[in-house]
Amino acid sequence: MDFVPARDTSVTSGLDQSQGQAKRVSNERQMIAKLDPAELQDRYLRLYDDNLILKQHARKQEDKIKRLATKLTKVVEDKKKSEATPLGVKVAGRGTETENLLDEYRNKISELRDQNKLLKQRVVLSQQQLQAAQQMKKSQTLYDNVSSRIDTGQSKRIPSPLLHNIRVIGPRDSARNTGTTPRPNTGLLEDARVANKQLEESLQRAHQQLSTYEQQMESLRQQLQQRDGEHEQNLLRLRSQATGGDSRTNLQENIDMIRLQRDLRDKSDELRRLQTQSTNFESQNRSLQVTNAELLKEIDRLDRQIKDEQQRTVQLRTELRNGSRSNSVVYELQAQIEDFRRECELLKEANAKLVSSAFSGDRDREFREKERALKLQIAQLEAAMRADLGERGTLLDRLTLEKDSNKKTDDEHRAMHLKYLEMKEKYDDLAEKMKFFERESDINMKEIEEALIILRQRKQRQEPNFDFLQKVDDEKGQNLNRRLLELESQLAETANELEKTRNLLFMQYKINRDYKLEVDCVQRKLDENQSEFQSRILESGQLLDIRAERIQKLEKALKDVAYGTRQYRVQEQPAVDGNLTNDLIEDAIELERGQNLIEVHISRASFNERALEYFGKNTDPSTFCSLEFFEHELQMTPIVKGRTPEYNFTAQYIVNVDDFLLYYLQKEYTVIELHQTVGQSFQTIARCKLSLKQLIEGNQGRLHGTAKLIASHQDTIDIGTFGVVEYWVRLRVPMEQAFRLLKEKMKAQGYLVTTSRQATKTADDIDQQREMDPNMNELTIAILSCSNVKASSPDHQPDLYCIYKFYDFADHDTITIPSSNNPNIDDRAQYPVPMDADLDRYLKQAQLTIFVFDDRDQKDDRYVARADIPLLPLSHDNQIRGTFEMHNDRGENNGTMDVTLKWTYSYTPPSSATRTPAQRLKSGSSVPREPLALLPDESISGHKTLAEKQKEMNIKLKSRDVLGPGGEPRTKPDVPRNSSGSRSPTFAEQPRNGRQRTSSNASSHSKQVSFDNRIDRAQPRPQTEDHLTPSETSRTVSP
């Protein structure tokens, strides 16, 4: 059966799908905004490269298709010719091969149809994924545009206005290796890439099929040629047989010819089928070309859209940057407003305290008198307590002795009691015996006594008299009884005294308990304050370290700016015509700050007719030029032959932009001389001068022109103008930028000189001076900076410096800060002064006037601004630190000045300055003292006893008992130190000639001052024992 080819409509359906995708592209533009810019750029560049490759491949395939079409037409024509000619006998065995080929073609067509089905399924799957992506886009929340504060590793989403038209210029590898993970099948570019890949695969398969078809057509053409040759041979053989053969052979030949014709008809059918397949493939190729062209148009449209979005993104980025800058400026202004509010509150508090302290001097003196009385009372109580403690010790000693004696008497009493009991027992025994004898006999007691008396008399007669012993025993018994009564009375007195001592000890226990509670409370507060102090010290140490690091960085930056340690790389700038201005320079040149590069280029020279006559019309002269510029060496061009020599020589000069260079460029000339070589020597024949004044006046930094060569040799003087030379001169760094770098360098050097001119006076010298004269003190005056100072003429920035005079010292002037309306002066001077009545009167009545002068101003008697600073807070041992307004000579405001004035040691006013006239009159008389009040726990009787004993002891108070041991000397405050921890040195500069100003005629103006609210340490000095009144030195403590 014949195989009828059918056209495959899957390609047209794919074309419809691509058109549908193109329609969806316009509705899904916003999805591009969610992609990362680097990823989008990477995809776009890859699609662009793939599209170029596909275009080249499609052109090649079109050429192949054209060649195959021509070959196919030739094959058809050959076939028609072969059908028109008679055929001979067909060779057997060829039909099976053609059937096998047809089976293979059918299998390939079925495979292509299966692949087409797979492609359709992929298209459906991509559409489903696209719908899911749209649903995900709709389900996004309002907070998707909020960026995370930490690095989560996910790709960052950029808002749609910022995404468009983003394209980073650079190598493709850097864009591909951004590390962001693309979203699968979510963007239109990804769909377009998939479609292009599918089309490319289908084109490759079509090209493979076409190549196989070409091979088959070639094989069929060869077979046809072979068959044509065989047919011709058969025809010749039949013709030869027809002349001499028989009828049977003719019949066999006719049968073979019919069979061959049938085979030829089959082959022609097969050829037509192949032709229809070829036309189908051509139509598919045309449809693929159409889809490819539409995709290219869509890519171009997306490219234009991306460019537009890039422009919008750049605009939005600039707006966003400006907005962030404005936000930072607003934040800084808000912080400054808060600081100003705090300073205003502090100023109000300081002003209120200053007013209260100024109008409450009498109260302070009353408070001090009360304080002295209370201190005296406290000292008397302490002396009474010490006396009580001594008496309590003696009582305790007596108590121990009484206890020992009482114990001995108890032992003796116990022994006597035992003896009494024994004697009582004996007496009872004797009494019982006497009663027994009286009952048994009629003997009476009286008779017994009489008998005993008689016996005693007899014994006394016979023995010596021992009656005195009996009397001694009786006296001992009476003495023991008397001693016992005395011991009992002493025991009662001791118990009474012990009761009193117990009451005193109980009272002392209560007092000690209250003291212990107070000590515990104070200890807790001390621990808390110590812990807080330690934490503050740690925090301050960290802040000081940070500040020191910042200061070191800023000092390094200033040194880099001032001394040119940092080098700046000057890049090539394109000229107006788009080419580089100097092709001879291969690398960029590194310049230090304050330097510039001047290039002088000599292009060529052209000679006039008279010069050519001088050289000779038939000869090519050898000439070269020499260039002399500023203080540099002479530069020579190469030797060039010709009537119009082209030198193309560039001389480069690295110069320092200073006054000498500017004077040379404005007033002097650069000389170019023309020399002719004659053998091994040369002679100067002409010269010209170049004026470089336009380099300073112009804005482009480049000067083109021609200069006339004037004959200078004695043989060529008659010629006059020798010709012209073409040249150009260029400044690599524009003059405005060079001036700006020079000003920055001068300012940095000025700031560094400010810190380097400090003196080398150390803390040991100040301590020695303090020890030598304790009445000396040292005042530090620091002028930190000025702000918003306007010059007398508005056409330039002022070169400012300050001058002031303090007390009876010489005028002090600061260094000059060039070209600055906000100079950072940082000038510190220290003045050692005696703390006497004159200084105290000066501090209370005078004020410090600081004049600001402009060094550029020609008038010596006119100052730019003036600041008036009252010195009254210094007399109260407070430092002055704040911002003061400045006024010009017309009384108008002209900026502000930051000033700090502080004492090195605590300021102590003289004693006569702190006393009233009434106190001075009463200084020689004794002041009556009020009696001390009793404590709540003390009893009247006990207090009287203590008072009597104190009177007996006659305790006298000294000045150290009232004011403490050694008069409580004042502790020296910390010496001010700088940020690095070392003692800040002092310096005093010599007054400038013609610029000295005094502050004697200064008038007061409005000002803003902030004082530190420290504890008033300006107390009068403690009186010594010699200066105390008799009532204070020999007064006895009385309750």
Average pLDDT over residues 454-465: 68
The residue type at 925: S
CA-closest candidate to residue 224, choices 104, 85, 105, 108: 85
User: For residue range 386-406, what is the model confidence (pLDDT) as tens digits?
Assistant: 887 788 788 888 888 888 888
User: For residue range 60-116, what is the model confidence (pLDDT) as tens digits?
Assistant: 888 888 878 887 887 788 778 877 765 444 443 444 556 666 667 777 787 788 888
Whole-angstrom distance, CA of residue 1035 vs CA of residue 383: 12
pLDDT at 941: 39
Map residue 779 onto helix, strand or coil. Answer: strand
Question: 451 phi and psi, to 5 degrees?
Answer: -65, -40
Please count the CA atoms within 13 angstroms of the CA of 327 that sit on its side-chain side.
6
User: For residue range 502-522, what is the model confidence (pLDDT) as tens digits?
Assistant: 888 888 888 888 888 988 898
Whole-angstrom distance, CA of residue 980 vs CA of residue 661: 41
Question: Could you tell me the residue ranges of all domains in the chain?
Answer: 10-86+115-138+186-218+275-319, 593-732, 759-908+970-1008
Q: How confident is the model at residue 492 (pLDDT cuts 50, 70, 90)?
A: confident
In the block, residue with structure tokens 């308990």: 513
User: For residue range 282-341, what is the model confidence (pLDDT) as tens digits?
Assistant: 888 888 888 888 888 888 888 888 888 888 888 888 888 887 777 878 888 888 888 888
Range of lowest pLDDT (201-205, 749-753, 874-878):
749-753
Average pLDDT over residues 482-493: 83
User: For residue range 208-241, what is the model confidence (pLDDT) as tens digits?
Assistant: 888 888 788 888 878 878 877 877 787 777 666 6
Q: What is the CA radius of gyration of the chain?
A: 63
Q: How confident is the model at residue 965 (pLDDT cuts 50, 70, 90)?
A: very low
- List b or e across 566-601, with b for residues whose CB sees 16 or more CB atoms inside 10 angstroms: eeeeeeeeeeeeeeebeeeeeeebebebbbbbbbbb
Max mean pLDDT range (189-203, 352-366, 1020-1034): 189-203
CB 277 within 8 A of CB 106: no
DSSP string, 856-896: T-S-TT--SEEEEEE-HHHHTT--EEEEEEEE-TTS-EEEE
Residue 587 has pLDDT above 80, yes or no: no
Residues β-bridged to residue 625: 674
Whole-angstrom distance, CA of residue 155 vs CA of residue 37: 10
pTM for this model (two decimals) = 0.30
Average pLDDT over residues 992-1006: 36
Question: 505 phi and psi, to 5 degrees?
Answer: -65, -35
Greater pLDDT, 917 or 638: 638
Q: How confident is the model at residue 650 (pLDDT cuts 50, 70, 90)?
A: very high
CATH class of 759-908+970-1008: mainly beta
pLDDT at 56: 87
Q: How far is CA 806 from CA 405, 471, 845, 996, in A?
A: 82, 107, 13, 13
Residues β-bridged to residue 780: 830, 902
Average pLDDT over residues 991-1000: 36
Whole-angstrom distance, CA of residue 985 vs CA of residue 977: 9
CATH class of 593-732: mainly beta
Q: Is it true that 593-732 and 759-908+970-1008 share their CATH fold?
A: yes
CB 620 within 8 A of CB 673: no
CA-closest candidate to residue 392, choices 499, 501, 503: 501
User: For residue range 907-933, what is the model confidence (pLDDT) as tens digits?
Assistant: 988 865 444 444 444 444 333 333 333
Q: How far is CA 517 from CA 523, 529, 646, 936, in A?
A: 10, 18, 105, 18
